Structures are given as C-alpha cells and as structure tokens.
Amino acid sequence: MGYISHPKIIPDTVEERKYQVAMAKDCLNANTLIVLPTGLGKTIIALYTTAVILQEGKKVLLMAPTKPLVDQHASVFSGFLAGARIGVMNGLMNPETRKKITDNNDLVVSTPQCVANDLENKLYGMGDFGLVIYDEAHRGTGNYAYVTVAGHCTRENRSVGLTASPGSDIKKVEEVCRNLGFLRIDVRTENDPDVAPYIHETYVKKIEVNMPKELLDIIDVLKKLLDHYFIELTGLRLTKENWPPSTTHMLMIGDTLQKRLRRGERSATLYRGLTVQSICIKILHAVNLAETQGMSSLRSYMIKLTEEAQTQKGNKGGKELAVRKEFLDAWDMVSGSKVEHPKVSKLMSLVSQILNSDPSSKVMVFTQYRDTCDILVEKLSSIDGANVGKLIGQSNGGLRQKEQIGILEEFRSGIRNVIVATSVGEEGLDVASTNAVIFYEPVPSEIRTIQRRGRTGRKNDGEVFVLIAKGTMDEVFESSSRKKEDQMRSRLERLNRELLLSVKEDQRKLRDF
C-alpha cells in the first residue's frame, strides 16, 4: 500500500488512492461539488486540497453543520497535517476570540452560522482564505449559513463541497451549485473502475412482515375518519375527489390556505379549511404510526393528542378530533391491545442472530421517531449479549453533543454493540464501521437512505436490512427512495455537462470582449 507524499502531510499516514488524488487535483482547478458515497474518503480529498493550499501560503476554512462534526474534522486533520496551526470555532465563543483564531491559524474549522455572522459584521474577511470547504454541502439552499458565507467569497477563494448525496431533485442541486459557486460536479460511485478496488460489499435485503388484524382494524377506523374529513375538504372546493388524501397533498392545501390568509382573506370557508386540513394531517400521522411503527407509538401519539385537546392552548382541530366517535373507538382498541408491530419481534430476532453468529458484531438500527427509538432500546436490551445505546438529537430534552459523541465512542470501542438512532446518526458523524445496518422503516429520501446505508461496508463487508410492512406506506417509501437514487447520477452528470458548457461560454464572451 502506497502513501500520499506531500510536504504538508505527515509521511506514511494517508493511503494513496488514485481516485481521491485525481478528484483533489481537479478541485484545485475549479470550484467543485464532490459527490462520493459515505466511507470512500471525502475527508481525504479535502485534506489533500488543504495541504496544497497551505503549501502555497494561504489559509483554509472548513465548515461543518454541527459542533461534533467540527471537532471530528479538527481531530482528523490534526492527525494528518504537518506543521499546520489548526483553530476550532463555534457560536459559543465571543466574536473577538473567533477573530484571534482566524488571525493565528492556518486551518480554521467552524460551524457556518458564526462565520456568516462574523462576515456580516465585518469582523474579518475572506481575503486570507485560499480554500473554503463546505461539508454536507447539500445543505446550501435557502437562507442556510453556507449561502451567506459563499456570498462573501470572491474568485480568489477556491470552493469545494462535500456530500454523499445531493439528491435527485436537479433544481435543488442547481441551487446548491449556484449558491456556493460550484462550476463543476465530480461524481463517483462504487461502480466506477478507479473506486471499485476499495469497495467492501454491502448486501441489501428487504424483509417483509404481515400486518396483524388488530392493527389493520384500527387503521380501517382511522381511514374512515380521514375519508369523512376529505369529503368535507372536497365540498369546500379545496381539493378534488381523484386526489389522494396524502400528507404531501394536505401540506399543499395548507400552503395554499396560508397564502390566502396572508393576502387578507377572512372567510368561513378559509377558517374551516384550515381546521379540517389540520385534522387530516393528524389522522394521516396516526395511520402512518400504526402502519410503520406499531401500537406503542400510536398509543403515545393518541395520548398526546387527547392531552393537548384538554388544554387551553390546544388547537381547534385537535379539540374536534379528540371527541369524534371514530377517534374514541380507535382509542378503545389501541388502549386495550397488547399486540405490537411485527417489525419489533423481527428486529429482535435479526439482532439476536447477528450477535450470536459473531459476538464481536456491531449493529446500527435506524428509526424515524424518538418514541419508537425508546421502545426498541428497551426491547433490544433484553437480548443476551446486546449492550444497547440510543443516539438522538439535542432538541426537546434529547442528548447533548458531548453525550452523542460519548455514545459513538462507546460503539467504536465495543462497550456498546447495538445503537438505535434517529436521523442524527445518518449524517457526517464518524460512526464506527458496522457489520449490519437495519432500517426499522424505509425513508422516502434518497439522501437519507444513502447516508444510512453508508454506516456499513466501510472497512469490511456489511449487510443492510430494510423492514417493510406489506400493504403500507413502507412499500411506497422504499420504492420512492430507490427510484430517486437511480435517477440521481444521470441527472448529476447532465447538470455537470451544462455547468461546464456555461463556464466555456463565459470564457468565450470574455475573450471576445
């Protein structure tokens, strides 16, 4: 195995992979969005470009969305860069401290919001930075802080974006490129010849389960209630009979009604429409929980709806829903049931098999909801040999960033061998290579699917299991994600060609001028 040789990289520390070096060199020639699956070394590409810029005597700014990611990058770069002063910044520091960090360090690693604020306040400028790196660059849309920082960059600042998946929505990818100034997109997948030698196999297996009659009966009651309110929306001329009563559809209706409200409309139809739309969203969520999560999650949600309806702050739709006969009938069925979703027992069996076949195995389970996360931690903890940890976000009494990092460190060291995570475990954080990743439910986002799947197959072969309840939204979401992922590469390649043609046209105009 050869190592990268560069004056700014500590000798014999970074494996030389031709595709990484080639991608890094191309980044130095034009502002580039790097699209590379998790585990294939986006950080090494950033490291090589950083080394070259530092050797030229210029500084580098590397931004990442969260403090744990910032700390992770700083640690990695400290272990590889030779003779570089590395400073770490975040929003908890006072501005003057951040100013000193930018003045006194060669590489600055920071969360983006504080950099955006400092630039807006003219605390420092981008003139000293020869390279700006945007980790998880697909976030660069709307008013995200990356966009503000990029607005302060000039042609003197080389820009590199890193992402495992920018998504299949070409308009959003175009927006990212436009906002962050990328002139080309460099895409690699596991199937590219220069990448293939470094790939460990990831085997994906769908596991289907049949829904129990008790859950199906509850879902039937909830759907009849949904039909009642959907018919009312049709009567209000806010929807059409042939449109599906889906969450996406309901959000579109809500957006239209809010726009009418902002324009000053104050009609009985508008107010009733807002109430009914809110009720439909609640019922759809209850159906989704019943289909994809299970009785415990549905029970918790219905208790929450009932409690909120009994408070003064409870909204009108919630109060109306909580006293409907159909809702009360469903609640009687839920509260008296001891049936759990068949995914729970299937998951327990799967984790038990993995750990029994190899006690050194590490398993990561992803689920959409915190309630489900708590349930699964409790259930999986009863398995012999399973030491289970929970990885959730900070909001609403979740885990602080230090606690998240502590859980991941216990997973790396083997103190814990099973982690149940919500979306916080999907993006960026250096999760130890796992033997198996289990989706408790599919997600309709190709970005999140790719990131979840990337938690395994990094240092050895890995398995991905996707639990799917037959005849439910699980099937819809799994199909949607797969189609979007199939479309993504071809769309990115087409966009890259368009970007390169645009650059050539601009250059021609400059020559003619």
- Per residue in 309-340, pLDDT (tens digit) is 999 888 899 999 999 999 999 999 999 898 98
pLDDT at residue 168 is higher than 70: no
Residue 430 has pLDDT above 70, yes or no: no
Tell me the whole-structure pTM to 2 decimals. 0.68
Residue 455: pLDDT over 90 = no
Phi/psi region, residue 264 (left: phi>0; alpha: psi -120 to 50; beta: rest), is left
CA 110 to chain CA centroid, Å, is 20
Share of the chain above pLDDT 90, in %: 60
**Residue 424 gets which letter from DSSP?**
G
Residue 34 has pLDDT above 70, yes or no: yes
CATH 3.40.50.300 in the chain is located at 18-196, 202-210+341-475
pLDDT at 209 over 60: yes
Lowest mean pLDDT among 33-42, 68-77, 353-362: 33-42
Q: Give the whole-number percent of the chain exceeding pLDDT 70.
A: 89
- For residue 428, the one-letter residue type is G
Helical H runs in 263-357?
Answer: 268-292, 295-309, 316-322, 325-335, 342-357
User: Residue 503: what pLDDT?
Assistant: 57
What mean pLDDT, rounded, does the chain reach? 87
Is the pLDDT at 159 greater than 70? The verdict is yes
CATH class of 213-335: mainly alpha
What's the whole-number mean pLDDT along residues 239-247? 81
pLDDT at 47 over 90: yes
Q: What's the pLDDT score for residue 458?
A: 47
**Of 192 and 400, the one with more pLDDT:** 400
CATH dotted code for 18-196: 3.40.50.300
CA pair distance 492, 110, nearest whole angstrom: 28
Q: Which of 91, 64, 94 has the alpha carbon at shortest distance from 77?
A: 64
Q: What is the pLDDT of residue 451?
A: 60
| pLDDT at res. 467 | 94
**Identity of the residue numbered 403:** E
CATH 1.20.1320.20 maps onto the chain at: 213-335
Superfamily of domain 202-210+341-475: P-loop containing nucleotide triphosphate hydrolases (3.40.50.300)
Give the least confident one: 115-129, 383-397, 459-473. 459-473
Query: Quick one: pLDDT at residue 38?
Result: 72
* pLDDT over 60 at 285, yes or no: yes
> Residue 19 pLDDT more than 80?
yes
